[in-house]
Amino acid sequence: VECSSAAEALAAAGAGADIVLLDNLAPQELHAAAAQVKAAHPGVTVEASGGIVLGTLPQFLGPHIDVVSMGCLTHSAPALDFALRV
């Protein structure tokens, strides 16, 4: 379930979500929300997402973050033009 606040994440986890995606949160807010979710629902997977790039990745890593999604890996990848002739 995609959530934009700690309250939404706690509600989603309480309703039975297996994975809670914390989207577009500042690193400090992200870590606080993730800690709350893990304290209340230790079995829930917490994913960080939204605006994370290689340069800022370390700020989003922490003990309560299980998965990090980085859209820049796909939407910012350079194009490659090639052909295969048999």
Picking from 20, 17, 64, 18, the residue whose alpha carbon sits closest to that of residue 38 is 64
Picking from 61, 64, 57, the residue whose alpha carbon sits closest to that of residue 9 is 64
Set out the domains of the chain in order of their start, with CATH numbers: 1-71 (3.20.20.70)
According to DSSP, residue 77 is labeled P
Answer for the pair 46, 63: CB distance below 8 angstroms, yes or no: no
Q: Give the span between the Cα atoms of 68 and 50, in whole angstroms.
A: 9
Express each pLDDT in 27-84 by its tens digit.
999 999 999 999 999 999 999 999 899 899 999 999 999 999 988 777 766 778 888 8
- 47's enclosing H/E stretch is strand 45-49
State if pTM tops 0.85.
no
